[in-house]
Chains A and B, each alone.
Chain A
Amino acid sequence: MNAATQPVIETLGLVKDFGRTRALGGLNLSVAAGEIHGFLGPNGAGKSTTLRVLLGLIRPTAGTARVFGLDPWADPVATHRDIAYVPGDVSLWPNLSGGEVIDLLTGLRGGADGNLRRQLIEEFEFDPRKKARTYSKGNRQKVALIAAFARPARLYLLDEPSAGLDPVMDAVFRRHIERVSRGGATVLLSSHILSEVEQLCDRITIIRSGAAVETGTLGELRHLKRTHFRVTGLAEPARLAALPGTHGISIDGAAAEFDADAADLGAVLAGIAEPGISGLSVAPPSLESLFLRHYSDGSGVK
């Protein structure tokens, strides 16, 4: 297969059972070379399990997983050579300092780039001399991020990496994602926050109950970007259906709820601007509402 067209990550019908619990139920995921891929899903959807399968840390019950065209379970060493990984819940050695852990993790992969290491420690405002025991969640996260970014890799597997970072540090994190992406690296970024994924990612896969329910570019998933409206006091709520770009209209007495496409927001706002309205709330698209509205019918695997 041509290296340029071969996906960096490809899973087909991935199934993972833990005893009687099914964590993954036939997951298909494809991440092309060079893209920043958002892996979006609520807690417990199977995001971390997928990343562990991709690292060959656990063996899939059924289905196949390929990373760089390799089976990570059969050949973890070759697979890991070009991977940088940040786990979702970073646990460190309490009696080692942050600096020692960074050196250990990069050393196991062949050594850090000294300048990059220094720059990252500075930008993340991190004190590498403290024992890991004393670090907060955000600081433990920084250790894993610095170790991951301090050395070039072809694939970055990041499991909810910005959880625990404050907004300033989050900006540093984004900058480095963009830096490695410009350098041609592939990034798989798991998250349960839609806006985070939206700002960074080229393509998104949404996972629920262990299976992918949507995948595509942000443009293709435009319906995810619908804004939710709740209006009370409209004289003729049924008229909403005639407005461009409105979806899922539900009317309950004087109150009406609907979603509107981003492109048609102007027309929608003009359409509902009438003297009688007594209440208006507008909610940006969130993963939660997305799941509530689109997938609450049990269409995912059970």
Chain B
Amino acid sequence: MPGVVRLALFQARRDRVTLQVWILGITLLGFATSSAVVTQFGDEPAQEAILTLAASNPAFLFMRGLPDGTGVGAVVFFQGFAFTAVLAGLMSTFLVVRHTRTDEELGRAELLGSAPLPRAASLAATLLLGAAANVLLAVFVAAGFVAAGLEVPGAAGAGAAVGAVGVFFLGLAAAVAQVLPSGRSANGAAAGLVGAAYLLRGVGDALGTPAADLLHVDSAWPSLLSPIGWGQRVRPFTGPDLSALLVLLAAALGLATAAVLVRQRRDVGASLLPQREGRERAGIGGTSFVGLAWRLQRSTLAGWCVGAAVLGAVAGALGPLVSETVSSVAPLRDLISRLVPGGQTGLIDVFVTALLGVAGVFAAAAGIQAVLRMRAEEAEGRAELLLAAPLSRGRWLGANLFIAALSAVVVSGTAGVSAAIGLGLSGTTNGPAGSVVPAALAHVPAAFVFLAAASVVFAFAPRLSVVLGWGMLAAGLVLGEFGELFGLPVWLQDVSPFRHSSAMPVEPFDPAGALGLAVIAAALAGLATYVIQRRDLTA
């Protein structure tokens, strides 16, 4: 046991900056959400208005969560919990994979494995560190809520719910890390499961049954499959129910125990899904920069496409269904006919638009990931091998930008096509079935801006490119999703490229906005190509 604690302290030392950023970042988001709610929805009529609007709009329910009565705390929990829980989940999965599968892959685990400790000691230490990080996160989130003026017991419950979701994903990621052979694949799968948890909760909430007063919604069964859905059931500000936390913690314990048992019995470096043999010769495309970039991106891209396809299918298949559910409640039907132009069809549009917007974020993320791979190539010494060939750095950058742009188009297109198929299958004839593919592709120019901006950071400040590349996407997302809620000035919100994408099919296509984004992206890519030729390769 002292050995495990020692290892945990060592891992904490490695993570000292990363974990601080995660915990403080999540706390800040929670604090900002609650102070925004306090200022904007401080009185009961305003709270009733936002809750009714949400209850009548499945897209809102899908994105945010379940309205659970009036009161500042309840509104904060409804608005902010799902996002916060996703972040807590990602913090936990990245933490676990970093110290388990990635360390094994890079041979660091071997060094520690020679110490006189049980085989699973390092995994146990990681779980211990993760549990501590999530307890700390729970305390900080609760403190942030209290600082923003929420009542103490509710804030404590909300913090505990966030922490419990994080703990669940510790166990899940530990299990995933036993199954998959590389750090990359384990990270991808674990983060994908966090996304799936958000999605399942969204489906459950969007299909939920609104109460007669339109201030509460009860989720449908899919939400029970999602740890974030269980966290939501804690309802800390209205009817605290801590048994939901116990479900999460028990599930985490089960998964973690399974992972430890597997680790205790397997070889170092071995995985349940083994490494396949490779090809003896490169394929036709395998001898060029573009071919290599494609080879390195394709499995990542497949992952994003699965996510986009699921989103599109949810939008297409559930849009009509949720609008029916909502319209079956008489008071809601009246409200919708007043609020949403076009009534029920308009409601489908809103739902589809919201989900295609999320697919646009996926597209940008897939592109950014392709661009940032260049940094990994450089930092790990492979760029040196490549650039010793008689080909310019501009071509290398260009090849990677091309694959990044292609990824963005493919991800958006996948979401659009799957939404169209979904709408077709669910028999929406007068709906937006034909227009969803262009609607999905309308988000591509904004994605181009993000990936081109990431390439500029890579060219100028390679060591900061990973942090800034993802940071820009996170900033764009916060400005786009929360900018209005936080009451940020319009010019600041307008910095986000997402704000200039046409939200089709609700809005008409805006050629000027799309062209503007495309021109900015091209200019940024040109700048990056110019700068990259003029700096040292930097490890």
A residues lining the B interface (CB < 8 Å): 52, 55, 57-59, 76-81, 83, 85, 87, 89-100, 103-111, 128-131, 133-134, 144, 157
- Chain A residues, CB < 8 A from B380: 91
Is B385's CB within 8 Å of the partner chain A? Answer: yes
**Closest Cβ neighbor of B387 among chain A residues:** A57
State the CA gap A111–B382 with chains docked (Å): 19
Q: Are A103 and B182 in contact (CB under 8 A)?
A: no
Alpha-carbon separation in the docked complex, A93 to B277 (Å): 14
By the criterion CB–CB under 8 Å, are B287 and A104 in contact?
yes
Q: A91-B380, A91-B382, A134-B275 are in contact. Are A103 and B286 (CB under 8 A)?
A: yes
Q: List 18 A-B contacts (CB under 8 A).
A: A52-B384, A55-B384, A79-B390, A80-B389, A80-B390, A81-B390, A85-B388, A91-B380, A91-B381, A91-B385, A92-B382, A95-B184, A96-B278, A97-B280, A100-B279, A103-B287, A108-B391, A130-B278
Contact yes or no, A104 B278, CB < 8 A:
no
Q: With the chains together, A128 CA to B434 CA distance in Å?
A: 49
**A103, B288: Cα distance in complex, Å:** 10
Distance in angstroms between the alpha carbons of A105 and B381 in the assembled complex: 14
Give the number of chain B interface residues (Cβ < 8 Å): 37
Query: B389 to chain A: which residues have CB within 8 Å?
Result: 80, 105, 108-109
- Among candidates B105, B276, B277, B289, residue contacting A108 with C-beta atoms closer than 8 Å: B289
How far is A246 from B182 in the complex, measured between Cα atoms in Å? 59
Bound Cα distance from A276 to B223, whole angstroms: 94
Q: A18's closest neighbor in chain B, by CB?
A: B536
B393 close to chain A: CB less than 8 A = yes
A82: nearest chain-B partner, CB-CB: B390
**Interface flag for B296 (CB, 8 Å):** yes
> Across the interface, which residues of B come within 8 angstroms of A97, CB to CB?
277-280
Residue among A89, A91, A99, A144 making CB contact with B279, cutoff 8 Å: A99
- Inter-chain contacts of A106 with B (CB < 8 A): 287
Instruction: Given A77-B390, A100-B278, output 5 extra A-B contacts at Cβ < 8 Å.
Output: A76-B390, A78-B390, A128-B280, A128-B281, A134-B275
Q: Which residues of B line the A interface, CB within 8 A? A: 105, 181-182, 184, 275-282, 286-289, 291-292, 295-296, 299, 380-382, 384-393, 535-537
Taken together as a complex, chains A and B put the C-alpha atoms of A94 and B185 apart, in Å, by: 12
Q: Which one of A78, A87, A103 has the greatest number of beta carbons of chain B within 10 Å?
A: A103
The answer to whether residues A55 and B275 also contact, given A103-B281, A107-B282 and a CB cut-off of 8 A, is: no
Determine whether the beta carbon of A131 is less than 8 Å from that of B384.
no
Given A87-B381, A108-B289, A133-B275, is A76 in contact with B392 using a C-beta cutoff of 8 Å?
Answer: yes
Contacts of A128 in B (CB 8 A): 280-281
Which DSSP category, helix, strand, loop or mixed, fits chain B's interface? Answer: loop
Nearest 8 Cβ contacts at the A-B interface: A107-B287, A97-B278, A103-B282, A108-B389, A85-B388, A91-B381, A58-B536, A80-B390
When distances are taken between beta carbons in the complex, the residues of chain B under 8 Å from A129 are 277-280
Known contacts A77-B390, A94-B182, A133-B105; decide if A99 and B536 are in contact (CB<8 Å).
Answer: no
C-alpha gap A78/B392 in the complex (Å): 9
Contacts of B296 in A (CB 8 A): 93, 95
Please state if A55 and B280 are interface contacts (CB–CB under 8 Å).
Answer: no
Q: What chain B residues lie within 8 Å of A133 (beta carbons)?
A: 105, 181-182, 275
Contact B182 A105 (CB under 8 A): no
Cα distance A85–B296 in the bound complex, in angstroms: 23
Cα separation A107 to B181 with both chains bound (whole Å): 29
Most A CB contacts (10 A, CB to CB) among B280, B381, B385, B392 go to B385
Instruction: State in angstroms the CA–CA spacing of A77 and B392 once bound together.
Output: 6
Query: Does the CB pair B390–A104 fall under 8 Å?
Result: no
Please name all residues of chain B whose beta carbon is closer than 8 Å to the beta carbon of A78 when the two chains form the complex.
390
Residues on the B chain within 8 Å of A90, using CB: 381, 385
Q: B184 contacts which chain A residues (CB < 8 A)? A: 94-95
Distance A131 CA – B299 CA, assembled complex (angstroms): 15
CB-CB under 8 A from B292, the residues of chain A are 93, 104
Contact B392 A52 (CB under 8 A): no
Name the residue on B nearest A99 (C-beta).
Answer: B280
**Contact at A87–B277, with CB atoms within 8 Å?**
no
Q: Name which residue of chain B comes closest to A87, CB basis.
A: B384
CB contact between A57 and one of B275, B289, B384, B392 (< 8 Å): that residue:
B384
List of B residues within 8 angstroms of A94 by Cβ: 105, 182, 184
Tell whether, in the assembled complex, residue B393 and residue A76 are in contact, meaning their CB atoms are under 8 Å apart.
yes
In the complex, A130→B279 CA distance in Å? 8
A179 to B280, CA, bound (A): 26
Contacts of A96 in B (CB 8 A): 278, 295
Neighbouring B residues of A110 by C-beta, 8 Å:
390
Among the listed B276, B286, B381, B384, which residue makes an inter-chain contact with A104, where contact means beta carbons less than 8 Å apart? B286
Is A105 within 8 A of B281, CB to CB?
no
Decide if A55 touches B278 in the complex (CB within 8 Å). no
CB distance from B292 to the nearest CB of A (A): 6
Determine the chain A residues whose CB is within 8 A of the CB of B278 once the complex forms: 96-100, 129-131
CA distance A99 to B279 in the complex (A): 7
Query: Nearest Cβ in chain B — how far from A225, in angstroms?
Result: 34
Closest A residue to B181 by beta carbon equals: A133
On chain A, the residues within 8 Å of B282 by CB distance are: 99-100, 103-104, 107
**Taking the nearest CB of chain A, how far is it from the CB of B317, in angstroms?**
34
Interface contact B385-A105, CB-CB below 8 Å: yes
User: Contact between B281 and A99 (Cβ–Cβ < 8 Å)?
Assistant: yes
Rounded to whole Å, the gap between the CB of A188 and the closest CB of chain B is 13
- Nearest-CB distance from B152 to chain A (Å)? 49
Nearest chain B CB to A115 CB, angstrom units? 14
